[in-house]
Structure 1
Amino acid sequence: MSDITIYHNPKCGTSRNVLQALRDGGAEPAMIEYLKTPPDRATLKKLVAAMGVPVRDLIRSKEAVYAELGLDDPALTGAQLIDAMAEHPILINRPIVVAPKGTLLVRPKERLAEIFP
C-alpha cells in the first residue's frame, strides 16, 4: 500500500511505533521526515482541513519555541499558527498519517485503527 503517507520524526517513540504498526499491517508508507523536509504552509492548511481539527490541536505546546513566540495567546488565528509551524516545523505534532480512510494525528498510536485496518 503506497497510498499512505506518514509525517514522521524518527526520534519520537510514538512516531516509530505508528510506522511499525503500518508496516506490520502490510503497508510501506511514503515517509516524510518533516524536520528535514518540512511541509509548506499550503500543505499544513490541507492537512488541518483533512483532519477537521482546530490548528491548535496540531501544535506542540511543550516546545521552547512555542513559549518564545507567545503561541499560547488565544487571540492568534489559525493562519498565524500555521505560519509558525511552517517556519518552525518542530512545532508540528506527530505522527500525522494520511490514508485512504482519512488523515489523522495518530497520538496515541491506538488511534491508527480509526483510519488503518
Structure 2
Amino acid sequence: MTITIYHNPNCGTSRNVLALIRNSGEEPEIVEYLNTPPTREQLVGLIAAMGIPVRDLLRRKGTPYDELGLDDPKFSDDELIDLMLAHPILINRPIVETPLGTRLCRPSEAVLDILPNLQRGEFRKEEGELVVDASGRRIASSEDAAR
C-alpha cells in the first residue's frame, strides 16, 4: 500500500499527520515539498484529486502571499499554480495521498478519513490534545461537533 505525505517537518500539523499515519501501522513516502517541489503535472493532479479550488491550496501565513497580492482575483488558476511552483511555501500542507483518497489534512485529524488501516492505539497531538483513544477510536473534537 502506498501512502504519500507532502510534508514540512517544521509544521506541527504536518508532524501530527505523519504521526497519525504511522500510528495506523503504515510508513508513508515522505516528500519534503519545500526541498523537492511537485512538478506542475503532480500539483495539478493533487488539486484535482482533492476536488478543491486552486485558491484553497494557497497558504497565507509565513509566505509571500500578501507581498504578491494573491487576494486579487485577477490571478488565474494557471497563474496561481505557477506561483506555487515558484514559491513552494505557498502550497498549504500537509497533503496526503492514500488508496482511499487525497486530502489537504487541516486539521490533522482529517487524515483519519482516508487512512486504510485503523489507528493502533492512543494518539495525542504534539500540544497534548487526545485525538484517538487507547482502543484506536477517533475522539470527536469541538470542531467535529460544530459540523
Q: Which SS does the other structure have where 1:86 is aligned?
A: helix
Equivalent residue number for residue 106 of structure 2: 107
SS at match of 2:112: helix
1:51-90 aligned at under 5 Å gives the runs 51-90=50-89
Letter of the 2:102 counterpart: T
By percentage of residues, which structure has more helix? 1
Task: Indicate the percent of aligned positions where both proteins have the same amino acid.
Answer: 60
Q: Select between 72-81 and 95-104 the one with higher mean Cα deviation.
A: 72-81
Root mean square deviation, CA, Å? 1.0
TM-score by length of 1: 0.95
Instruction: Give the aligned residue type for 1:94.
Output: R
> Per-residue deviation at 1:106?
0.3
Give the aligned length: 116
* AA matched with 2:50: M
Kindly provide the CA deviation profile for residues 45-102 of structure 1, in whole angstroms up to 9, marking residues without a partner as x: 0100000000011110223411111111112111111000000000010000000000
Unaligned runs of 5+ in 2: 119-147
Answer with 1 or 2: which has the greater Rg. Answer: 2
Q: 1:72 to 1:63 in 2, by over 3 A?
A: farther
Instruction: Give 5+ residue unaligned stretches, structure 1.
Output: none
Q: Distance in 2 between matches of 1:109 and 1:67?
A: 25
TM-score w.r.t. the length of structure 2 is 0.76
